[in-house]
C-alpha cells in the first residue's frame, strides 16, 4: 500500500495529505473547521447542502469541500468574502423554510443548524419561504418526526440504509417538494423501523427526536400515592456526564445516583443486577443447547432493536434467539413481584421507570408481551438525554454532587453486568459464567478477560475454550454487520453462540445517548464509543465481583424467589416470545 | 400480533417474472400501472416484497416520476397547462376556478370518480393559451367563466369527443370545436 502524498496550501498554510483526501478533512489538519451540515464522514458524502463551499484557485465555481478529493497541488481559500457570502446564502435558504422556533425546540443549544447559522453570523434573512406546516408524527412510543425542521441532509437515510441496513428512509417526490421520509410518509410505527434511534443521533436538527416521557415521570413523582423506583442501564453511568460538559468516558455512577434521589425517586437500582440475572439465565440456556436441547447457535436477545430486526428480516432464525427478556424488563418484573412482596408494597402503586441508552427500549416496554396480569413490567422508559434534561430542569448542579451508592437490595452488581453496555460484553459475561458452571465453579479459571471479544470492529469471531468443550462465538454490532453473520449461518456455517447489538458499539452508541454536537458527532466517530466502552471495562476491572453467578444478590434472588435458572418462575417472569413479522406484507392495510 | 397472510396477485407475479432484472423496476411499475390504472400502497408494498427491494426505494421511484399515479384516476383527466404562455394569460385563475367547481386539489379525483385534476407543463398549443385538456379534448382560449359550462358537458353525458390525437391536434379545429 503505497499512499501517494499530495502537497497543497489551505489559506496559505502548507499541508500534506494522502491523495484523494477531501478538502474538508485536509483543512482540519491545519486547524480549520469548514462548516458542514449534510456531511458524515464515509457515511454521507453527497455534497447536498453547499454549506462547506471553498474557493480553489484556478477553478471558477466555488466547490463543496466535503466531496472535493485532492489529487494535485492546489491552493484553497476557505474564508474569503465570496466564500462567506455563498455559505451564508446556502444556510439562509435552509432557514427560510425552517420552523425557526429555537427557544421551544428540543435541540435548542445542541443543534448543528443553529450552530452553523450562529458561526456564519446570520442576523437576518433576506428571503423567507412558505412554512410547510406538516403535522408532527408521533403515533409510536419511540420517535417523533417533525418535517418542518428537516433540512433534507439525508443523514438519517444514510445511517439507516448503510449502517443499519434497514432502509426505512429515501427521497420521496421531487424538486422543491422532496422529502426524506419513510415510504408513503408513514409514521415510523407503521414501517419496518427497528426503533434503534440511530437516525435520531444522526439528525443535525430536531426533525427526528425521541418521544419524551419526561412529563409522565414528573407527574408520577408528584403523585403522593405512587412509589416511584428507577433503574439505570450499565452504560448510563459512563455517558450521562457528557451532557454536563464532562469528557467522554467519565464515570459518574455516584453522581447519577445522587441526582436521581434528588429528583425524588424512592429507590435507585442498577440494571446491571438484572444483567447478571440475564447472564445466569442465558448461560444456562447456552449449556442446555450445547447439550442438545434446542437450536444452535444461541443468539442473544437483550437488544430489542436487534430482536425487531430479526422478526422482520430473519424470521426463519427466531428459534435461535434466547427467550430472555432484556435486562430492564426482567428487573421490572421483579420489582412488582419479588420486591413488592419483600417490602410490603402494593404493586399497583409502584411506578417503574428505566433510564436507558436507547429508543428501542421505549418500544420494547410497549410490547404486549412485557407484563403479566395487567401489570406492565416497566411503566416509563427515558433516555440518557431525557434524564439529563430532568436534572437540568431541576436545577441540580450535577458536577458538584457528592457520590452516593445504589439502594439495597439489588445494589450489588458484578463487572460482568457492567460490560453488557459494550459490544462483546454479553458474550464475555455469559462465557465467564458458563465456564464456571461447566467446570464446577472453579474460581481459579484465569479466563476472566477475553480481549479478543472486545473492540470496535464490526464483526468479531473467536473460539472460546469452555474447558470441556470449545465453542465458536461471533459478535456483531450495528444490524448491517449482523447481516454478515446471519447470512453465513443461512449458508450453513456453524456457530454456538452469537451476540448481536443493534447499535454500532453496543449500548454505549445507543440512539438515546447524548448527541455530541460539532465535529466528533458529524463523523459518527467511533472514538467516543471507544472511550465510553473503555470506561465500562474499567468498571469491570475494578469490581470486586467479576462474574454474574458470584453475585450474592442474584443468589439470594434464586433462593428466595425464583428457584432455579430456567425454572418455572423464571420462565414466567423473565422470558418472552417473538413474533415473525415478515418483510413488508405486515405493512399492508 | 398476527402475521398477515400473504396475498397473491397472480397478474403482478407474471409481470415481475417477465421483467425481473437489474434496472427492471420502472418497467414493472409501468406494466402494473397499465393493469390497474394506478399504483396503490398495497401494490407497491407487494412489488417491494416480491423483489426484496426496500419499500422506501420503490415508493421513492413511484413518487419521483410524474408518469406514475398513486391514486385511482377519474374517468377524465383535466390537465391545466401552466406553461409560460398559458400562465401569462391567466391559467392560474382557471386552475383555481376548476378547483372550486370540483372541490378538489391538484392530483386529486372527484368523489364521483369522474375527474382527476392535474397541472401540466406546456402542451405545445401555446397559440390557444390558456389551454386545458379534458380527457383527449383540448379547450383553448378559455376564461374562468366558461369552466362550469365545459365541465357540465362531461357530466351530462360522456361526450364522445371528436378529437382523439392530442399530440397532433390542429389548433383551428379545436378552436372551432369550442366555439361550436
Ligand atoms: S432544529 Fe435547531 S435551528 Fe431549528 S428550531 Fe430547533 S434548535 Fe432552532
Ligand atoms: S430508528 Fe433505526 S431503523 Fe428506525 S428509521 Fe431510525 S435508523 Fe432506521
Ligand atoms: S430528518 Fe434530520 S437527518 Fe433526516 S434529512 Fe431531515 S434533517 Fe437530515
Ligand atoms: S455539501 Fe459539504 S457538508 Fe453539505
Ligand atoms: S404554455 Fe400552455 S400550451 Fe404552451
Say how many CA atoms lie within 13 Å of A21 toward its Cβ: 20
Contact state of A585 with B56 under an 8 Å Cβ cutoff: no
Q: What is the pLDDT of residues A256-306, one digit of tens each?
A: 999 999 999 999 999 988 888 888 899 899 989 999 888 999 999 999 999
Q: Which residue in A181, A583, A589 has the most chain B C-beta atoms within 10 A of its own C-beta, making it the best mutation to test that interface?
A: A583
* Coil, strand or helix at A285: helix
Nearest CA-CA partner of A94 in A138, A46, A149: A149
pLDDT value at A454 more than 80: no
Cα distance between residue A34 and residue A29, in whole Å:
11
DSSP single-letter state for residue B55: H
Which ligand is closest in space to the CA of residue A522? Answer: 4
Question: Across the interface, do B60 and A172 touch by the CB < 8 Å criterion?
Answer: yes
Residues A28-44: what's their mean pLDDT? 91
- On the question of pLDDT at A440 being above 80, the answer is no
Does residue A64 contact residue A116 with C-beta atoms inside 8 Å?
no
- A325 φ/ψ angles, rounded to the nearest 5 degrees: -65, 165
Give the whole-angstrom CA distance, residue A205 versus residue A107.
Answer: 7
pTM for this one? 0.87
* Residues of A with Cβ-Cβ distance to B56 under 8 angstroms: 167-170, 172, 181-183
What spacing in Å lies between the alpha carbon of A104 and ligand 1's midpoint?
A: 9
Nearest-CA residue for atom 3 of ligand 4: A36
Q: Which residues of chain B have pLDDT under 70?
A: 1-7, 157-180
Pocket residue to mutate for ligand 3, from A112, A185, A203, most atoms within 8 A of Cβ: A203
Output the nine-digit C-alpha cell for A221: 413523582
For A579, name the nearest residue in chain B, comparing CA atoms only. Answer: B1
Give the pLDDT confidence score for residue A451 in this predicted structure: 67
- Specify the residue with its C-alpha closest to ligand 1, atom 3: A114
* Domains, in order of start, for chain B: 7-64 (no CATH), 76-164 (3.40.30.10)
Q: Give the confidence band of A417 by pLDDT, cuts at 50, 70, 90.
A: confident
Q: Is residue A18 pLDDT above 60, yes or no?
A: yes
**What pLDDT is recorded for position A517?**
60
Confidence band, pLDDT 50/70/90 cuts, at residue A457 = confident
Mean pLDDT on A364-387: 90
Q: Examine the pLDDT at A9 and tell me if it is beyond 90.
A: yes
* Residues in B touching A316 (Cβ below 8 Å): none
Contact A437, A564 (CB under 8 A): no
Q: What is the pLDDT of residues A534-583, one digit of tens each?
A: 888 888 778 777 777 778 888 888 999 999 899 898 998 999 999 988 77
| Per-residue pLDDT at A47 | 94
* pLDDT score, position B5: 59
Query: Using a 6 Å cutoff on CB, does residue B125 contact ligand 5?
Result: yes
Give how far B3 is from chain A: nearest CA, Å.
6
Q: What is the DSSP string of A360-418?
A: HHHHHHHSTTSEETTEES-SEEEEHHHHHHHHHHTT--GGGPPP-PPPSSS----HHHH
Closest-CA distance of chain A to residue B142, Å: 30
Q: Which position has the grid cell 464509543?
A: A529
> Which ligand is nearest to the Cα of residue B169, counting in written order?
5
Per-residue pLDDT band for A42 (boundaries 50, 70, 90) equals confident
DSSP sequence for B35-46: HHSS--HHHHHH
Nearest to A158 by CA among A554, A526, A588, A523: A523
Does any ligand 4 atom lie closer than 6 A to the CB of residue A240?
no
User: Do A347 and A340 contact (CB within 8 A), yes or no?
Assistant: yes
Min mean pLDDT across A62-66, A187-191, A457-461 is at A457-461
CB-CB neighbors (< 8 A) of B6 in chain A: 582, 585
With CB atoms and an 8 Å threshold, state whether A585 touches B44. Answer: no
Among A139-153, A234-248, B61-75, where is mean pLDDT lowest? B61-75
| Chain B residues near any Cβ of chain A (below 8 Å) | 1, 3-4, 6-7, 41-42, 44-46, 48-49, 52, 54-60, 63-64
Inter-chain touch B56–A182, beta carbons under 8 Å? yes
Residue A81 — pLDDT band, cuts 50, 70, 90? very high
Higher per-residue pLDDT: A160 or B21: A160
Dig out the grid coordinates for B123 from the structure. Answer: 402542451
Number of the ligand 3 atom closest to the C-alpha atom of A199: 3
Short-list A558, A538, A534, CA closest to A546: A538
The pLDDT confidence band at residue A170, using thresholds 50, 70 and 90, is: very high
Yes or no, beta carbons of A167 and B45 under 8 Å apart: no
Catalytic positions of A are 282, 285, 302, 322, 361, 364, 369, 507
pLDDT tens digit sequence for A47-76 = 999 999 999 999 999 999 999 999 999 999
| Span from the CA of A105 to the centroid of ligand 3 (angstroms) | 15
Residue nearest to atom 1 of ligand 4 (CA): A47
What does the pLDDT read at residue A357?
Answer: 96
Record: contact A184-B57, CB cut-off 8 A: no
Kindly list the residues from chain A whose CB atom is less than 8 angstroms away from the CB atom of residue B58.
183
- Residue A570 Cβ inside 6 Å of ligand 4? The answer reads no
Q: Does ligand 5 have an atom closer than 6 angstroms to the CB of B126? A: yes
Chain A, nearest residue to B6 by Cα: A585
CA dist., res. A378 & res. B82, Å (int): 57
CA-closest candidate to residue A334, choices A561, A548, A563: A561
Domains of chain A: 5-94 (3.10.20.740), 101-210 (3.30.70.20), 224-574 (3.40.50.1780)
Judge: A174–B63 Cβ closer than 8 Å, yes or no.
yes
Q: Average model confidence (pLDDT) for chain A?
A: 89
Contact A180, B54 (CB under 8 A): no
What are the tens digits of pLDDT across the range A90-139? 999 999 999 999 999 999 988 999 999 999 999 988 877 777 889 999 99
Which single residue is written with the C-alpha cell 428540543? A106
Angle, alpha carbons A276-A324-A467 (nearest 5°): 60
Q: Say yes or no to pLDDT of A519 above 60.
A: no
Q: Note the helical H segments in A146-235.
A: 155-158, 198-202, 214-222
Cα–Cα distance, A153 to A133 (Å, whole number) = 19
3-state secondary structure A302-330: CCHHHHHHHHHHCHHHHHHECCECCHHHH
Output the CA A346–ligand 2 centroid distance in Å.
38
* ipTM (interface pTM): 0.87
Residue A433: per-residue pLDDT: 82
Residue A426: what pLDDT?
84
Contacts of B42 in chain A (CB under 8 A): 588-589
Share above pLDDT 70 across residues of chain A, in percent, rounded to a whole number = 95
Q: Order across the sheet with A5-10: list the strands.
A: A13-18, A5-10, A75-77, A53-56, A63-64
The model's pLDDT over B113-139, given as tens digits with 9 standing for 90+, comes to 889 898 888 888 899 999 999 988 999
For residues A502-512, average pLDDT: 90
Using a CB–CB cut-off of 8 Å, the residues of A that contact B are 161, 167-174, 181-184, 191-192, 579-589
- Report which ligand 3 atom has the smallest distance to the Cα of A38: 8
Cα gap A131→A138, rounded to integer Å: 20
Beta partners for residue A383, in sequence order: A356
CB contact at 8 A, A501 and A306: yes
Q: Grid coordinates standing for B115?
A: 375527474
First-to-final CA distance of chain B = 63
* Atom of ligand 1 at shortest range from CA of A205: 1
Instruction: Sort out which chain B residues have CB atoms less than 8 A from A156's CB and list them.
Output: none
Spacing, Cα A160 to ligand 1 middle (Å) = 22
Please report the atom of ligand 5 found closest to the CA of residue B122. 4
**Strand A470-477 relative to strand A497-501: parallel, antiparallel, unpaired?**
parallel
Inter-chain CB proximity A584 and B59 less than 8 Å: no
Distance CA A246, CA B87 (A): 60
Measured CA to CA in angstroms, residue A253 lies from A250, A266, A377, A399, A413 at distances of: 9, 17, 24, 12, 13
Contact A422, A475 (CB under 8 A): no
DSSP class of residue A162 equals: I
More confidently predicted of A189 and B180: A189
Amino acid at each position: 500500500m503505497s499512499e501517494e502524498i499530495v502537497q497543497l496550501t489551505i489559506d496559505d498554510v502548507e499541508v500534506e495529505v494522502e491523495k484523494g483526501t477531501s478538502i474538508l478533512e485536509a483543512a482540519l489538519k491545519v486547524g480549520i473547521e469548514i462548516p458542514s451540515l449534510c456531511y458524515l464522514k464515509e457515511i454521507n458524502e453527497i455534497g447536498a447542502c453547499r454549506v462547506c463551499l471553498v474557493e480553489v484557485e484556478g477553478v471558477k465555481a466555488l466547490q463543496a469541500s466535503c466531496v472535493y478529493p485532492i489529487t494535485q497541488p492546489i491552493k484553497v481559500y476557505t474564508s474569503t468574502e465570496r466564500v462567506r457570502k455563498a455559505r451564508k446564502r446556502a444556510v439562509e435558504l435552509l432557514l427560510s423554510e425552517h420552523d425557526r422556533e429555537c427557544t421551544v425546540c428540543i435541540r435548542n443549544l445542541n443543534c448543528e443548524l443553529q450552530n452553523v447559522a450562529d458561526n456564519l453570523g446570520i442576523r437576518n434573512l433576506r428571503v423567507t419561504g412558505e412554512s410547510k406546516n406538516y403535522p408532527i408524527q408521533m403515533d409510536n412510543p419511540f420517535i417523533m418526526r417533525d418535517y418542518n425542521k428537516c433540512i433534507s441532509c439525508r443523514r438519517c437515510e444514510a445511517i439507516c440504509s448503510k449502517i443499519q441496513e434497514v432502509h426505512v428512509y429515501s427521497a420521496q417526490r421531487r424538486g422543491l417538494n422532496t422529502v426524506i421520509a419513510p415510504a408513503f410518509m408513514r409514521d415510523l410505527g407503521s414501517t419496518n423501523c427497528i426503533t434503534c434511534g440511530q437516525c435520531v443521533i444522526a439528525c443535525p436538527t430536531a426533525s427526528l427526536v425521541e418521544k419524551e416521557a419526561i412529563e409522565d415521570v414528573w407527574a408520577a413523582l408528584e403523585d403522593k400515592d405512587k412509589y416511584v423506583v428507577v433503574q439505570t442501564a450499565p452504560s448510563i453511568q459512563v455517558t450521562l456526564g457528557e451532557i454536563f460538559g464532562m469528557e467522554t468516558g467519565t464515570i459518574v455512577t455516584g453522581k447519577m445516583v445522587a441526582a436521581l434521589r434528588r429528583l425524588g425517586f424512592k429507590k435507585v437500582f442498577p440494571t446491571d443486577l438484572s444483567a447478571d440475572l440475564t447472564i445466569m439465565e442465558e448461560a444456562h440456556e447456552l449449556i442446555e443447547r450445547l447439550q442438545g436441547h434446542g437450536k444452535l447457535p444461541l443468539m442473544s436477545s437483550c437488544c430489542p432493536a436487534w430482536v425487531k430486526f430479526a422478526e422482520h428480516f430473519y424470521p426463519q432464525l427466531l428459534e435461535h434467539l434466547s427467550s430472555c427478556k432484556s435486562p430492564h424488563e426482567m428487573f421490572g418484573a421483579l420489582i412488582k413481584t419479588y420486591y413488592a412482596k419483600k417490602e410490603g408494597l402494593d404493586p399497583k402503586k409502584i411506578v417503574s421507570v428505566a433510564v436507558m441508552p436507547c429508543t428501542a427500549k421505549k418500544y420494547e416496554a410497549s410490547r404486549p408481551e412485557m407484563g403479566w396480569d395487567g401489570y406492565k413490567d416497566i411503566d416509563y422508559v427515558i433516555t440518557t438525554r431525557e434524564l439529563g434534561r430532568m436534572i437540568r430542569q431541576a436545577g441540580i448542579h450535577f458536577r458538584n454532587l457528592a457520590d452516593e451508592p445504589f439502594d439495597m437490595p439489588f445494589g450489588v452488581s458484578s463487572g460482568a453486568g457492567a460490560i453488557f453496555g459494550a459490544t462483546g460484553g454479553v458474550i464475555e459475561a455469559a462465557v465467564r459464567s458458563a465456564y464456571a458452571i461447566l467446570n464446577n465453579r472453579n474460581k481459579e479459571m484465569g479466563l476472566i478477560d477475553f480481549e479478543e471479544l472486545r473492540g470496535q470492529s464490526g464483526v468479531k469471531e473467536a473460539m472460546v475454550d469452555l474447558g470441556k468443550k470449545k465453542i465458536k462465538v461471533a459478535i456483531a454490532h450495528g444490524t448491517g454487520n449482523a447481516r454478515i453473520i446471519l447470512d453465513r449461518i443461512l449458508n450453513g456455517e456453524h456457530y454456538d453462540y452469537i451476540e448481536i447489538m443493534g447499535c454500532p458499539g453496543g449500548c454505549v452508541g445507543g440512539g438515546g445517548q447524548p448527541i455530541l454536537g460539532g465535529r466528533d458527532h458529524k463523523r459518527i466517530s467511533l472514538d467516543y464509543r471507544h472511550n465510553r466502552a473503555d470506561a465500562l471495562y474499567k468498571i469491570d476491572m475494578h469490581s470486586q465481583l467479576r462474574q454474574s453467578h458470584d453475585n450474592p444478590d442474584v443468589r439470594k434472588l434464586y433462593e428466595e424467589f425464583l428457584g432455579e435458572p430456567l425454572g418455572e418462575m423464571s420462565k414466567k417472569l423473565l422470558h418472552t416470545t417473538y413474533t415473525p413479522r415478515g418483510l413488508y406484507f405486515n405493512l399492508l392495510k | 400480533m398476527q402475521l398477515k397472510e400473504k396475498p397473491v396477485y397472480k397478474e403482478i407475479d407474471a409481470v415481475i417474472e417477465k421483467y425481473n432484472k437489474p434496472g427492471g423496476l420502472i418497467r414493472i411499475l409501468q406494466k402494473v400501472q397499465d393493469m390497474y390504472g394506478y399504483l396503490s400502497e398495497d401494490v407497491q408494498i407487494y412489488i417491494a416484497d416480491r423483489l426484496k427491494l426496500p419499500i422506501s426505494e420503490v415508493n421513492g421511484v413511484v413518487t419521483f416520476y410524474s408518469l406514475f399515479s398513486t391514486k385511482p384516476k377519474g374517468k377524465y383527466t383535466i390537465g391545466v397547462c401552466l406553461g409560460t404562455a398559458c400562465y401569462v394569460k391567466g391559467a392560474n385563475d382557471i386552475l383555481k376556478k376548476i378547483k372550486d367547481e370540483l372541490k378538489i386539489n391538484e392530483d386529486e379525483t372527484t368523489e364521483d370518480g369522474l375527474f382527476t385534476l392535474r397541472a401540466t407543463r406546456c402542451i405545445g398549443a401555446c397559440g390557444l393559451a390558456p389551454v386545458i385538456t379534458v380527457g383527449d379534448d383540448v379547450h383553448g382560449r378559455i376564461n374562468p367563466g366558461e369552466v362550469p359550462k365545459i365541465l357540465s358537458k362531461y357530466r351530462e353525458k360522456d361526450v364522445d369527443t371528436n378529437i382523439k390525437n392530442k399530440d397532433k391536434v390542429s389548433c383551428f379545429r379545436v378552436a372551432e370545436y369550442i366555439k361550436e
